[in-house]
Structure 1
Amino acid sequence: MIFTGRKKARFLDAVASFEDAVDQGDGERSQQAMQEIQRHFEHAGDDDLARIGPRLAELLPAVPPGPRALVAVLIGACVERGADARACAPQIFEGLAQALGAAQEFCERWTATGGGDLPEPDPAALTEAALERVGQDAAVGWITLPQWEMASVAMLNRPAVRTTLLPETRLALLRALHEIQEASGHDFKCLHYALLVLDDEPLLALHRPTGTGYLLRMTGIGDNFQLHTLLADVLVGGGHVPGHAPSAQEAAVCRDAPGQVPTTGSFNLATPGGDWVWNEGTPTDIPVVDGVRLLVLDPPPYQRGWPAGRFFPGMTGDLVLERVLGADEAREWLGRCAPPK
């Protein structure tokens, strides 16, 4: 215990030293302190990290762009251990926006200086020749994007952050990320999907074989694999429609339990226009019709299985049934839907 206490004290001393070094603009001492923080991070208590996360977030704008991304990752780790995500998120998203802007400039300069395959967003993949083509600031934005992705997903795992993120901020981040992915061919899927997560979102599901309809509400669902399993749990497991009902464990890992377990698909998800809604996508792929996302459940054309679980293990999700549509209401909605393609 004494040995552990000493290491914890070293961690707290390193944090204090880092704060002082950044305030003084001492790059060498701040780098040394950051190395000590990383070395002793595992010995910090959750209460310590709950206090330190917001302190590091307040300091973040004063840290140079390169090491700033590493500090952002540490802030994300603090949030995962109990620090207030809402207090940390504004600085993380501001840093993410700046990194995205620099990464956009990286892609533009790369194209303007001859194009070709972009290097991986990794310092080890960036040669001196590549650095000369794009410049230091743009290169830092590109190679630190994976770190900003990690930190941002840690924030977005928390519903309090997702529900208070301004729509215009979310849209600007998505647009910038889309442009970078299009220009680079590199996929930042975790960040993309995390920015698309819906909360307290109405979902109208129409079960075509039985002609029935169900108004549900979804929160924190990362992809359509998770949604598919929860739909089967609520509708088949709840005795509303026939089919394969997931086990209690299969449903639990899609809500808040750890791990993954095999499951089997119960439906074919389709849009009102008859197009398939792929399990690999997200609930935002489901079209909005008259203010509600409208999903048609058809019989599965073949047996499909996958590991039931959550795309974001740190994000809890849920799907609840609010009401069963009356027969006439369900018939009217189904009458507006095209046959499956």
Structure 2
Amino acid sequence: MSELEEAVAARDGDRTERAFTAVMNGVQSASDPERDLAGPRLAALLPAFPPTGPRPMLAMAAGYCVERGADPVSCAEPILDSVHQDLLDALEFARRWTGTAASAATNELPEPDEKIIDDALLARLGDDAYEATRLALAWCSVEEWQPPALAVLCRSAEVRRRHASAILPACRELAALERHDLKCLAYALAVLDGESLVVLHRPTGTGFEVRIGGIGDNFQLHTLLAHVLIGGGHIPGAKPSAESVRLATDPEPARGRTQAVATGAFELLAPNGERIWNEGLPDDIPLVEGRRLLVLDDPTYQRSWNADRFFPHLPGTAELVRVLTAGEVRTWFARTKPGSTAHQPS
């Protein structure tokens, strides 16, 4: 590590390459206490590492140390700043590529594969060959940043609070170009922590304030809402199995896939009556006057799914803060679109 730090500081390419190879090999065989120390030092090298060098590999080594116990908060800023910059650089690549297209036939964005990088490709990106190479490498390698990003995002609510909201728009914008699979990164960046939901249950005309955190997708949210509201005796229905609740909330990381099944208890709806899909995110729940407002209705058909959580290292939480008063329920229901068979509170 010391040799690599000194070589990077000296801007000695050959020495950096040799030390980098030695460190990559050493991380695999190091003890966990050694990785605890190495993780933050590896991450701290990212800003000074050559932009056209194997920076994702350096970040992956730091992320591997986090996975084995290194402090995610200490490693997060250099990793996620680099992730953010590469997302922005990949977007700039796309902007320049489409902006220089002579016709619709040449307008299609290329596949993100370093094999495509040649003089002709770089020439489309501008006169600065070094910058063009940097943008092209960002376009081709941005998916490689997901493992180290997930390592820090899934192990610390503080990391998500500090960094996620700034990075998420660029991630979603790049994903919308449909050349990169950034689903895991986008989901991790969109995780809500300490978020208060207003939850209305149409069939009974009741309402609740529920605080959630660390939930990776709406399958997990669905299970936990059923656990809190049905399992807590607040609304009728079949409560989820103890195993599906454990898989959603256990602080210990999930180890491998299970055969456990969760069964749907609700239809999840936005205030305008549109369905909120289980495959989506709690972040999909719309804000109404500054509060996320979710409507639960009877399910239109029976559905079930594997109960394993989306992020094995990220336990979810959901707690009932309070039951809303009848007046509050009427006020919130007034902000929703009535269902055709819905029971509205009188």
Shorter-chain TM-score range? 0.7 to 0.9
Select between 310-319 and 112-121 the one with higher mean Cα deviation. 112-121
Cα offset, 1:212, TM superposition = 1.4
Indicate which of 157, 170, 181 corresponds to 1:176: 170
Residue ranges of structure 2 left out of the alignment (5+ in a row): 126-131, 341-346
Tell me if 1:145 matches 2:142: yes
Deviation track 1:13-51 (CA, whole Å, cap 9, x = no partner) reads: xx3332232222222332233333333433222211111
| Separation (CA, whole Å) in 1 of partners of 2:78 and 2:330 | 49
Deviation track 1:109-156 (CA, whole Å, cap 9, x = no partner) reads: 221343444333343465665445443111111122112222222221
Over 3 Å counting, the alpha-carbon distance change for 1:340 and 1:34 in structure 2 is farther
Amino acid at match of 2:21: Q
Q: Is the CA contact (8 Å cut-off) linking 2:143 and 2:181 kept in structure 1?
A: no
Q: Is the CA contact (8 Å cut-off) linking 1:121 and 1:146 kept in structure 2?
A: no
Q: CA RMSD in A?
A: 2.2
Q: Is the CA contact (8 Å cut-off) linking 1:244 and 1:265 kept in structure 2?
A: no
1:257-336 to structure 2, matched below 5 A, reads 257=252, 258=254, 259-260=257-258, 261-336=260-335
What TM-score do the two structures reach when normalised by structure 1? Answer: 0.87
Tell me if 1:123 matches 2:114: yes
Over 3 Å counting, the alpha-carbon distance change for 1:28 and 1:201 in structure 2 is same
Partner of 1:160: 158
Over 3 Å counting, the alpha-carbon distance change for 1:255 and 1:119 in structure 2 is farther
| Separation (CA, whole Å) in 2 of partners of 1:121 and 1:38 | 24
| Separation (CA, whole Å) in 1 of partners of 2:19 and 2:238 | 55
Over 3 Å counting, the alpha-carbon distance change for 1:122 and 1:237 in structure 2 is farther
| Separation (CA, whole Å) in 2 of partners of 1:16 and 1:288 | 49
Partner of 1:74: 61
What TM-score do the two structures reach when normalised by structure 2? Answer: 0.86
Amino acid at match of 2:143: P
Q: Is the CA contact (8 Å cut-off) linking 1:57 and 1:72 kept in structure 2?
A: yes
Cα offset, 1:310, TM superposition = 2.0
**Partner SS state of residue 176, structure 2:** helix
Over 3 Å counting, the alpha-carbon distance change for 1:132 and 1:281 in structure 2 is same
Q: Is the CA contact (8 Å cut-off) linking 2:112 and 2:179 kept in structure 1?
A: no
Tell me if 1:243 matches 2:237: yes
Percent identical across equivalent pairs? 47
| Separation (CA, whole Å) in 2 of partners of 1:340 and 1:128 | 59
| Separation (CA, whole Å) in 2 of partners of 1:98 and 1:332 | 44
Cα offset, 1:301, TM superposition = 0.4
| Separation (CA, whole Å) in 2 of partners of 1:146 and 1:84 | 23
Partner of 1:48: 34
**Partner SS state of residue 254, structure 1:** helix
**Structure with greater helix percent:** 1
| Separation (CA, whole Å) in 2 of partners of 1:124 and 1:181 | 21
Amino acid at match of 2:109: L
Cα offset, 1:172, TM superposition = 4.2
Tell me if 1:36 matches 2:13: no
Amino acid at match of 1:138: L
Over 3 Å counting, the alpha-carbon distance change for 1:127 and 1:222 in structure 2 is farther
Tell me if 1:216 matches 2:207: no
Deviation track 1:206-262 (CA, whole Å, cap 9, x = no partner) reads: 111111111110011111111111111111222222223211110111123514422
Q: Is the CA contact (8 Å cut-off) linking 2:98 and 2:109 kept in structure 1?
A: no
Partner of 1:233: 227
| Separation (CA, whole Å) in 2 of partners of 1:85 and 1:279 | 29
Over 3 Å counting, the alpha-carbon distance change for 1:128 and 1:238 in structure 2 is farther
Cα offset, 1:171, TM superposition = 4.4
